[in-house]
A and B are shown apart, each in its own frame.
Chain A
Amino acid sequence: MFANAPLWPERASTIAGNVDALYIFLLVVTGMMCLLIFTCILVFAARFRARPGHEAEQNEGSIPLEITWSAIPFVVFMFIFVWGAVIFFKERTPPRGSMEVYTVAKQWMWKFEHVEGQREINELHVPVGRDVKMIMTSQDVIHSFYVPAFRIKQDVVPGRYATAWFHATKAGTYHLFCAEYCGTMHSGMVGDVVVMEPAQYEAWLGGGTATGSLVTTGQGMFQSLGCPTCHRFDTQGRGPNLTGVFGKPVLLEDGRTVVADENYIRESILVPSAKVVSGFKPIMPTFQGLVTEEQMNALVAYVKSLSQPQSGGAAGTPNLKPPTSQQSTENPR
């Protein structure tokens, strides 16, 4: 319904249908409320208009009526609330095994980097029928990643990672907007999301000018910054062994437990003393200002790769083989 209606946005993701369904429900419910109120007003205004021989009939109010018109809206509102919340949880929970795209937003462009190493600006190529998780940060001010056809939006805040996900259902080219005002050319910070059939997407991936996968780049960074000096792949290092860490809970020196997600890795590189792993000393220097956002993404992707099944197994030898494009076909969801 409404798929090709005029004045209706295109629907090209799995979540779009859910959002539209609630939206249509709300249009009906609020339309009925409007109709009820406006009809009452118009009918009363006409029927009880001032005219000779007509007098107003006083009446103070009615408790049962007050209770009725408080309780019924309340119940309806709670129903809408729960429905909206269910969709929101789905929107905010990327499925496991999503293909990942790292994103750096800056005044006034979108920079994307696929794990295979392809980089693009203001254009994002994704395959139809796959879960895609955007791992996004900003180099300067707050931006917002907005694809109306997917009905998703996520503010991209500097200094942290924000994530969003979608599952495109229809090949085509869709608007990408920056939705959080970000300065002079805010309205120029737009681009295209190009959704392709899987085969075409593979061809596109192969045809690019990738300079090695994100993980390889990250591994290079890891070496050149001297990280392995302390983060050894055994238990003898001055820093924790990073194998298998990602996605797991980590016990901290102060007794708290945090889950090692992208933001935790990022923070540990930039502000190492913020959350020190239990049993280690806060001796790591900060890398603030030494790594760009793109290099940070590569480092994060590398640390994450140390926890992937094929790399975490053998004691400490990180898998140097980059996850190739064949990986994405192995893992159809």
Chain B
Amino acid sequence: MATVAYPSPERQNYLNQEYGIKSWLLTTDHKRIALLYLLSITFFFFIGGFFALLIRLELLTPAGDLVQADTYNKLFTMHGLVMVFFFLIPVVPAVLGNFLVPIMIGTKDLAFPRINLLSWYLYIAAGALMMHCMLTGGVDTGWTFYAPFSTAFTNTKIVEAGLAAFIAGFSSIFTGLNFIVTIHRMRAPGMTWTRMPLFIWAHYATSIIQVLGTPVIAITIVLVAAERLLHLGIFDPKLGGDPLLFQHLFWFYSHPAVYIMILPSMGVVSEIIPCFARKRIFGYTFVALSSVAIAVFGFLVWAHHMFVAGMSVYAALIFSMLSYLVAVPSAIKVFNWTATLYKGSISYTTPMLYAFGFLGLFTMGGLTGLFLAALGIDVHVTDTYFVVAHFHYIMVGGVLMGYLGGMHFWWPKISGRMYPEGWGRLAALIVFIGFNLTFFPQFILGYMGMPRRYWQYPPEFQVLNVLSTAGSTVLAVGYLLPMVYFLWSMRYGKIAEDNPWAAAGLEWMTTSPPPTYNFEETPVVDFEAYDYENIKAKEAPVAR
């Protein structure tokens, strides 16, 4: 056991406080739990990414030749399930949020440290079940589980996959609950609501959606299982059910789930941009409240996934209009981030490059959402590659760029080491180029009419598919690089200072890595968030 040997770099912190497998598996330290999540979520990211690469390889040629049709259907289903439930939904809250929420508001831990550990165990249990399901046959319904295909026609492991999603949902609910209570009850003296970092506002809004929305998908999964196992007529018209009821229930959660994914990444970007522009964020109140507005309006737009499903035209009209309303707070955020750059003093560090990437890709993802919300156009492009491209711009372009930016930004705090800046910038560039090459052609494919979830396709779509597949290999390199140099830096990286970026925020006022209870003594907050006026920039924030 390391003893206190301040100020040597081996001073006591949450990493060297205790050693041994038990000290990790039974920890209640939010920072250690964040690292447990980091490991397991990275594992699932590469599983899901592997499926994606196989999908892209199959689509290299118009004929279905690499894998069987059934295998292909399972690949895109498992890709969706793994990425949505085991990567995108938990990634930022459970890794960065877990690590940072208590530190950013100046407290020792989350409100319920043991429930926090339970969240991780539920995640692992769900993940193990999902892995078992995949290895023993998998599922072929698409991650959307549409009835009556899922309840009466497919022979694959619906109930097992559903149970995995069900359990993962509880992990998500517990995380959200923990954040809500922590943010309400445990802020340091002086940390008022208007002094909270926007990262905290974003996580607060996310937590509300997690707690209110996730139970609905749990109910839906139970109903699917009941119809499949007990033949209760709920969704299958042959049993007197209504297939559209399934879609309403499914999207009532799964649309807000998109905001569970994107809001935390927006929070990350709201931290990175002020730091590397050396400025207070432009329009703090508007950025903060737009997160809440997105959380609220996000619950009212679910049926825009169902414009051609056979709903009443008047219902479609209302959902189309509400979908445009939810676009307004997103636009407000983008404008405020852009305005924050104005008259700043901008350095192009790796986190900032990811933030720029986020701005570009999220803007394109958001603007193509305007096409899909337009009823007349949605009829043509829904269920085509246009939709696939659109949501990947949000979920991969947005969420992942935010996550990677955040990982680089807080890596010195998490690990106590600096990552290699040159490699970081190179990887950010590769990810950006690879991403656009993969997904931009899919917009064109979609408008040309190529339906999604197609194992084979007419030959006129091949050129664009080849481009997309080429892009996906570039993207894979871009994602592997950070993993390699993060691991490398844990041993060989430069020792990080407590505040290497001269950033504002309580997390930078404690040591790197922080001690187990985060602060030597409870901080008192007598400054606004993003107080860059009073923080002197480093001479050269980055070694060139």
Contacts and interface: CB of A to CB of B under 8 A. Distances in A.
Interface string B227-246: 00000000001100011100
Interface stretch (B37-45, B174-182, B380-388): B380-388
Given A8-B448, A84-B376, A146-B383, A73 B149 contact: no
A58 B308 contact: no
Contacts of B455: 186-187
A259 interface: no
A45 B325 CA distance: 30
A179 interface: yes
Given A84-B374, A157-B243, A158-B243, A179 B451 contact: yes
B328 A74 contact: yes
Contacts of A182: 149
A148 B243 contact: no
B280 A58 contact: yes
Interface stretch (A15-23, A115-123, A214-222): A15-23
B463 to A, nearest CB: 9
A88 B363 contact: no
Contact of B377 (A49, A84, A107): A84
B359 interface: yes
Contacts of B338: 37, 40-41, 44
A148 B449 contact: yes
A324 B383 CA distance: 38
B318 to A, nearest CB: 10
A49 B237 CA distance: 62
Contacts of B285: 61
A159 B321 contact: no
Contacts, number: 270
Interface in B203-256: 237-238, 242-244
Contacts of A154: 308, 310
Interface string A54-70: 11111111100110011
Nearest to B240: A271
Given A91-B379, A151-B379, A179-B384, A9 B448 contact: yes
Contacts of B324: 74, 77-78, 80-81
B238, B243, B308 interface centre (most CB from chain A within 10 Å): B308
B346 A48 contact: yes
The B contact surface, by secondary structure, is helix
Contacts of A181: 73, 141-142, 144, 146, 149, 452-453
Given A37-B363, A45-B346, A186-B455, A70 B380 contact: no
Contacts of B144: 181
B4 to A, nearest CB: 37
Nearest to B441: A7
Interface in B310-369: 310, 313, 316-317, 320-321, 324-325, 327-328, 331-332, 334-336, 338-339, 341-348, 356, 359-360, 363-364, 367-368
B20 interface: no
A22 B380 CA distance: 12
Contacts of A141: 146, 148-149, 153
Nearest to B331: A73
Nearest to B457: A187
B532 interface: yes
B140 interface: yes
A69 B307 CA distance: 29
B373 to A, nearest CB: 7
B349 to A, nearest CB: 10
A319 B339 CA distance: 73
Contacts of B14: none
B149 A19 contact: no
A148 B374 CA distance: 17
Contacts of B466: none
B337 to A, nearest CB: 9
Nearest to B73: A184
B153 A183 contact: yes
A230 interface: no
A87 B379 CA distance: 10
A18 B376 contact: yes
Contacts of B341: 40-41, 44-45, 48
Interface string B507-544: 00000000000000000000000001100010001000
Interface of A: 7-9, 18-19, 22-23, 26, 29-30, 33-34, 37-38, 40-41, 44-45, 48-51, 54-62, 65-66, 69-70, 73-74, 77-78, 80-81, 83-92, 107, 140-142, 144, 146, 148-149, 151-155, 157-160, 162, 175, 177-188, 190
